[in-house]
A and B are shown apart, each in its own frame.
Chain A
Amino acid sequence: MVHVHFKEEIGIAELIPLVTTYIILFAYIYFSTRKIDMVKSKWGLALAAVVTVLSSLLMSVGLCTLFGLTPTLNGGEIFPYLVVVIGLENVLVLTKSVVSTPVDLEVKLRIAQGLSNESWSIMKNMATELCIILIGYFTFVPAIQEFCLFAVVGLVSDFFLQMFFFTTVLSIDIRRMELADLNRRLPAEAGMPPPKPGPLRPRETPPPPRPSPHTITLQAPAFRNLRLPKRLRVVYFLARTRLAQRIIMVGTVIWIGILVYTDPAGLRTFLAAQVSEQSPLGEAGLPPHLGVAPVFPGVDPTSTLSVLPAPEPTPLPENQSQGHRAARPGVAPVSSPQITWGPEDEELWRRLSFRHWPSLFSYYNITLAKRYISILPVIPVTLHLSPQEAIDTRHPQDTQHAPPPSIKTSDLQTDLTLYKVAALGLFAGVVLVLLLFCLYRVLCPRNYGQNGVPHGRRRRGDLPCDEYGYSPPISEISPLLLRGHSMDIECLASDGMLLASCCLAGQIRVWDAQTGDCLTVIPNNGLRRSSSSGCWEHRDGWDHISACEAEGLLGADFREPGGSMGGPDVDIFPIRRRTAPARPALFGDQPDLTPLIDTNFGALPPSHALGSSGFDFGGLVEKAYQEHEPSPTLAFPPSPPATQQRRRSLGDQPVLPPELPPQSSGDWDSSVWAMELRGNLIATGRSSGKLELWDAVEGSLRCSNEDGLSGITALAFLNNRIVAARLNGSLDFFTVEINKPLGLLQYRGPPGRGSLPPSPCYSSEDVISCQLTRSVQCAHQKPITVLKAAAGRVVTGSQDHTVRVYRLEDSCCLFTLQGHSGGITAIYIDQTMVLASGGQDGAICLWDVLTGSRVSHVYGHRGDVTSLVCTTSCIISSGLDDLICIWDRSTGIKLYSIQQEVGCGASLGVISESLLVTGGQGCVSFWDLNYGDLLQTVYLGQSSEGQSVRQLLVLDNAAIVCDFGSELSLVYVPSVLEKLD
């Protein structure tokens, strides 16, 4: 005897957890769909994703009931869990992958590439989920089994819908976005056949020689048709005429028509219900519309029909069925029907969910809320009845109904349903995969969607990639290579408009930071005097010819006094590119001959210099033309002492042996160790201790100062003051004075660049003098390694474990900051007086510049901290352990760290609040600071191995400059550019 209690229809106790699960479900959907990005309509795609999941669930329920499974679980309760188990992850991964394919591809190729990039992870996810659910299936708990069954069928149909429904929606969305993009970006060139997205800018240097891997050359369709195989032509014909779609559409319409004609789902049952309520014997119309009971949706009426008659109080249908079974073969005698009553019959009603009772009683207008149903044990009563009597006692309407299907078979059927449906689901999944594979084999050309470089998924550890394992497209950002230096670049300075670089050969080049034009070349002055070979004379003459018009214009500049060097104008060798502004347009396809102009006698092999027939310029120029496509690097072997000098000036070589003399030809001739650029003045600090001021535009030496003898290791140029840190630990403050005060503050800046901060311009008529105002002899006990200046403060870090803060105006020492247990290797200070320092002990200290107190102190790296950058909310540090750590600035908590390749750069830069640039092995990587995702990797040259980026400078116009061997690379970040607009 069993009592079933029915509580209130909607009890609060049941409602609260239900509502909670639904709230969690909505939060999950919200947070998932929020990640859809870079599409035309976020809402549309989010809706499509949700529809995918919901309809896959509907399909699952439909399929399960079609194969005879009776849902016993409460659909409303398990629905959120089913959605969560099936999940939106694959859809989102798919979207992200497709969206990050190159924009300039065709839509179908983008879809194909995106799908193939994510194929492995999607299949893996699905296989994992299927495995987990199958494990759940073998718990042999009926409820869990049923849940798992729904989930398996739902997963498979979800996969199906992802491929055939969501991908379609996505492609439509992408096509919309592409059209909109092209309309926005290229209003003028709309008629041009291959539209190239991305900022179009005039380039002086030829575009990077790497062939763009994503341009796809498709022949004209007529030509393609000629050599198509027959099967493809059939498929194309089908696709063109949309035969399949039309057939399916017509079939659907016909099917719906038939459905409406035979069984108008709502109408007929409603009418039947009306009739049965009015008829005195409501029982009669009962069985046909039991299935449409409102309590549990999606129940197949026939399946309930087969089970339901059992618990009827009268054993009549039971007898009926028995009688029919017996009568149909015609063997059993009609007079003695075999009536059996076994335990299986007694247990039959237990298969019924308790939720059937309310629907049953609702037909009698009885509510079961707060009531009990007591099911009494069955007492079999034997009653002998002749068939004629049985037929007589039957209700007259009973004969109209078809005999109920045999209970024995349905019993067996329900027994096996679970396993059958599970096997069916698995089988359907396998068949689906096989079918797709066969379709791919038959239909797709061999290299469909594979004509891009395999940029999608990288091997782990190959290059930094994000957690989904692919790096976003590389075609958007193309670096602009600035060539001209013959040796590795040592110093790099910029003020936003101009860019000065100095190579190991001592040559200084000034570039336009906007266009990448080389404006001025300042050769190493010392070589000029020490060399007297015929080779130089030849070059000299050729150079003069090439720049003859510049010389004519610049006669006055040549007569400029050479400062304290006392020599005549021979030192100065200007090449003015500004005088020939038409050059980029005219000679855009010509090789850059500027590497041929400069000389480097210190590094030239003597046999080459003493050639018998002079110097063959024709051969040189030929060579340059041949090397036009690859980078024209002159094969100058960098000498080991020169490399040492570079490291010394960078400050990452802690021990600075002072006995190392400059290695060039003359012993007074020195290499550039430090360089700064402000306005149009370049300040260079040399290893001989000489400070020189050059005019950046004209390339003339404006002033020089030889007060100190120790080499200048670092320079800072702020306002009109220059601070020089020397090798012996002293710190010199210079003042730049212009004798014509009116000309001081002319602001340079072409029209249209008003957003950039103007820099003071010193006109060429001014006489600039550089006075040593104060020299702090013992600023540090050991060599100064870092010197930074900002916000009126000069900060020095030294080998003696201390950081000192000086005021720029009166050069007095404000604080000596102690806290590191190793030499200082990196310092960051900016306009907002944020001071951070990193040392050889791997510690990073954050200081308050106003009070001189230490704000926070964290140990982040094993080994030296090589570079430090701060944003308003976090500190980014890189160390010798190839780790980039991101710290919260206010709390000092390490947010996350990025493991880089071994030997990967110490160079860091922050473009905007959330965009981090790191230099790597031949590439530059962009990271999202908020989440630590790799956004993009830009390869600087064709050979991605070998050269690593050592210095990286972020310019004001959202471009970054980095050195790449003997070349400079100017990389624009278009997304940030758009944001700045």
Chain B
Amino acid sequence: MAEISALNGGAPMPRGPYISMITNRTMNLLIRAAMLFMVGVFLALVLNLLQVQRNVTLFPPDVISSIFSSAWWVPPCCGTAAALIGLLYPCMDRRLGEPHKLKREWSNVMRCVAVFVGINHASAKVDFANNVQLSLTLAALSVGLWWSFDRSRSGFGLGVVIATLATLATQLLVYNGVFQYTSPDFLYIRSWLPCIFFAGVITVGNIGRQLALYEYIVSQEKSHQD
């Protein structure tokens, strides 16, 4: 998944014939992509830290060094994926023309991010009886996240598709030995991975939509000041 997304991210954007449009649109896109990338990297690092914390009792020493215990290319991959998804969501909204039902506000987006981090936190800190319970709880939480902050069919579909693909890709990577979990409990990770992916897609999509709206407002304000 990571390689594919990296390829897509590096591909040149389709360019229109008009200069004024190019500067505006590509700048807009680039800024949005950069912000989403940073958000993705940041979230990946922080959430990785949370997952490391879970294993603190098992692997006592060097917590700091264990931040970077996973491969270096994981955060950039997450960032790229975030940028892609965040740009994909407004694009799909435009194509499908589905009117948004919920009010688009930064406060809602912040709430969404907080709940996402909370889901991660819960999956990291809370002791579940078994993996089925963990999976069910996380799935319920993720769907609740979607229902409270997205509620669009396209968002749900995209989330499910991307979560499935991402889980498959991760499993393939692990199977081929490119990447391995720090935790020996393999089933545990597999049980929360799809739900976390789904919630992440919804969150990043929300941010992307808000950014797409925000660029417009900023440009308008700027022109107003001129």
Please provide the 3 A-B residue pairs with the shortest distance between their CB atoms, ordered closest to farther: A28-B110, A31-B107, A31-B106
Contact B121 A856 (CB under 8 A): no
Given A84-B111, A141-B129, A890-B25, the answer on whether A13 and B52 have CB atoms closer than 8 Å is yes
The CA-CA distance from A890 to B218 in the complex, in Å, is: 13
- Chain A residues with CB under 8 A of B9: none
The CA-CA distance from A892 to B144 in the complex, in Å, is: 34
- Chain B residues with CB under 8 A of A87: 111
Any chain B CB within 8 A of the CB of A12? yes
Q: Mark A121-145, 1 if CB is under 8 A from B, else 0.
A: 0000000000010011001110110
Any chain B CB within 8 A of the CB of A873? yes
Given A17-B46, A24-B117, A28-B111, the answer on whether A891 and B220 have CB atoms closer than 8 Å is no
Q: List A727-770 residues whose CB lies under 8 Å from chain B.
A: none
* A-contacting 9-mer, from B60-68, B78-86, B189-197: B60-68
Contact B117 A144 (CB under 8 A): no
Partner of A855, one of B18, B46, B121, B133: B18
Distance in angstroms from B103 CB to nearest chain A CB is: 5
Contact B60 A890 (CB under 8 A): no
Q: List B174-226 residues whose CB lies under 8 Å from chain A.
A: 212-213, 216-217, 219-220, 223-224
Given A5-B57, A7-B63, A855-B21, the answer on whether A20 and B46 have CB atoms closer than 8 Å is yes
* Best-surrounded residue of A35, A888, A913 (most CB of chain B within 10 A): A888
Of all chain B residues, the one with the shortest Cβ separation from A147 is: B122
Partner of B46, one of A5, A16, A895: A16
Distance in angstroms from A3 CB to nearest chain B CB is: 8
Of all chain A residues, the one with the shortest Cβ separation from B126 is: A143
Given A80-B114, A139-B137, the answer on whether A930 and B20 have CB atoms closer than 8 Å is no
Given A13-B64, A28-B107, A144-B122, the answer on whether A853 and B114 have CB atoms closer than 8 Å is no
Given A139-B137, A873-B220, A895-B216, the answer on whether A32 and B20 have CB atoms closer than 8 Å is no
Distance in angstroms from B133 CB to nearest chain A CB is: 7
Any chain A CB within 8 A of the CB of B3? no
Of all chain A residues, the one with the shortest Cβ separation from B57 is: A5
Any chain A CB within 8 A of the CB of B49? yes
- Chain B residues with CB under 8 A of A873: 216, 219-220, 223-224
Any chain A CB within 8 A of the CB of B94? yes
Of all chain B residues, the one with the shortest Cβ separation from A11 is: B63
Distance in angstroms from B114 CB to nearest chain A CB is: 4
Contact A84 B25 (CB under 8 A): no
Any chain A CB within 8 A of the CB of B166? no
Distance in angstroms from A213 CB to nearest chain B CB is: 28
Distance in angstroms from B136 CB to nearest chain A CB is: 8
Contact B113 A874 (CB under 8 A): no
Given A891-B28, A930-B220, the answer on whether A13 and B63 have CB atoms closer than 8 Å is yes
The CA-CA distance from A911 to B80 in the complex, in Å, is: 42
- Chain B residues with CB under 8 A of A890: 20-21, 24-25, 219
- Chain B residues with CB under 8 A of A20: 42, 46, 117
The CA-CA distance from A894 to B100 in the complex, in Å, is: 13
Of all chain A residues, the one with the shortest Cβ separation from B226 is: A872
Distance in angstroms from A368 CB to nearest chain B CB is: 13
The CA-CA distance from A34 to B110 in the complex, in Å, is: 13
Partner of B20, one of A27, A855, A899, A914: A855
Instruction: Count A-B pairs with CB separation below 8 Å.
Output: 144
Any chain B CB within 8 A of the CB of A25? yes
Any chain B CB within 8 A of the CB of A467? yes
The CA-CA distance from A84 to B118 in the complex, in Å, is: 10
Contact A856 B50 (CB under 8 A): no
Q: Mark B31-57, 1 if CB is under 8 A from A, else 0.
A: 000000000001001110110110011
The CA-CA distance from A931 to B217 in the complex, in Å, is: 9
Any chain B CB within 8 A of the CB of A21? yes
Any chain B CB within 8 A of the CB of A893? yes
Distance in angstroms from B185 CB to nearest chain A CB is: 17
Of all chain A residues, the one with the shortest Cβ separation from B23 is: A890
Q: Mark A919-946, 1 if CB is under 8 A from B, else 0.
A: 0000000000111000000000000000
Distance in angstroms from B12 CB to nearest chain A CB is: 18
Contact B67 A13 (CB under 8 A): yes
Partner of B49, one of A13, A141, A872: A13
Interface SS majority for chain A: mixed
Any chain A CB within 8 A of the CB of B99? yes
Besides A143-B127, A144-B126, A891-B28, 20 new A-B residue pairs in contact (Cβ under 8 A), listed by A number? A7-B60, A12-B64, A13-B64, A17-B46, A21-B118, A28-B111, A28-B114, A31-B109, A34-B107, A77-B121, A84-B115, A84-B118, A88-B107, A144-B122, A467-B102, A855-B21, A873-B219, A891-B21, A914-B220, A931-B104
Any chain B CB within 8 A of the CB of A14? yes
Contact B137 A872 (CB under 8 A): no
Given A139-B137, A855-B20, A894-B94, the answer on whether A31 and B110 have CB atoms closer than 8 Å is yes
Q: How many residues of B contact A (CB 8 A)?
A: 61
The CA-CA distance from A143 to B134 in the complex, in Å, is: 13
Contact A7 B56 (CB under 8 A): yes
The CA-CA distance from A14 to B121 in the complex, in Å, is: 11
The CA-CA distance from A27 to B97 in the complex, in Å, is: 30
Any chain B CB within 8 A of the CB of A81? yes
- Chain B residues with CB under 8 A of A514: none
Of all chain A residues, the one with the shortest Cβ separation from B18 is: A855
Distance in angstroms from B37 CB to nearest chain A CB is: 17
The CA-CA distance from A888 to B212 in the complex, in Å, is: 11
* Best-surrounded residue of B63, B66, B111 (most CB of chain A within 10 A): B111
The CA-CA distance from A140 to B117 in the complex, in Å, is: 21
The CA-CA distance from A929 to B63 in the complex, in Å, is: 51
Q: Mark B136-150, 1 if CB is under 8 A from A, else 0.
A: 110011001000100
Q: List A1-55 residues whose CB lies under 8 Å from chain B.
A: 4-5, 7, 11-14, 16-17, 20-21, 24-25, 27-28, 31-32, 34-35
Contact B137 A5 (CB under 8 A): no
Contact B53 A872 (CB under 8 A): no
Given A31-B106, A890-B20, the answer on whether A21 and B28 have CB atoms closer than 8 Å is no
Contact A24 B113 (CB under 8 A): yes
Contact B140 A135 (CB under 8 A): yes
- Chain A residues with CB under 8 A of B136: 139
Partner of A25, one of B114, B140, B223: B114
* Best-surrounded residue of A14, A20, A855 (most CB of chain B within 10 A): A20
- Chain B residues with CB under 8 A of A891: 21, 24-25, 28
Distance in angstroms from A872 CB to nearest chain B CB is: 5
The CA-CA distance from A893 to B42 in the complex, in Å, is: 29
Q: Mark A836-857, 1 if CB is under 8 A from B, else 0.
A: 0000000000000000010110
Any chain B CB within 8 A of the CB of A705? no
- Chain A residues with CB under 8 A of B125: 77, 143
Distance in angstroms from B24 CB to nearest chain A CB is: 4
- Chain A residues with CB under 8 A of B148: 132
The CA-CA distance from A34 to B107 in the complex, in Å, is: 9
Q: Mark A617-647, 1 if CB is under 8 A from B, else 0.
A: 0000000000000000000000000000000
27 intermolecular pairs with C-beta atoms under 8 Å apart: A4-B57, A7-B60, A13-B52, A13-B56, A13-B63, A20-B42, A21-B114, A21-B117, A24-B113, A25-B114, A32-B107, A81-B114, A81-B115, A139-B133, A139-B140, A141-B127, A143-B122, A143-B126, A855-B18, A872-B223, A873-B220, A873-B223, A874-B216, A890-B219, A891-B24, A891-B28, A892-B21
Any chain B CB within 8 A of the CB of A897? yes
- Chain B residues with CB under 8 A of A77: 121, 125
Contact B56 A5 (CB under 8 A): yes
Given A132-B144, A141-B133, A888-B216, the answer on whether A17 and B115 have CB atoms closer than 8 Å is no
Q: Mark A77-105, 1 if CB is under 8 A from B, else 0.
A: 10011001101100000000000000000
The CA-CA distance from A12 to B105 in the complex, in Å, is: 32
The CA-CA distance from A422 to B119 in the complex, in Å, is: 22
Contact A35 B105 (CB under 8 A): yes
- Chain A residues with CB under 8 A of B18: 853, 855-856
Contact B111 A13 (CB under 8 A): no
Contact A913 B110 (CB under 8 A): no
Distance in angstroms from B219 CB to nearest chain A CB is: 6
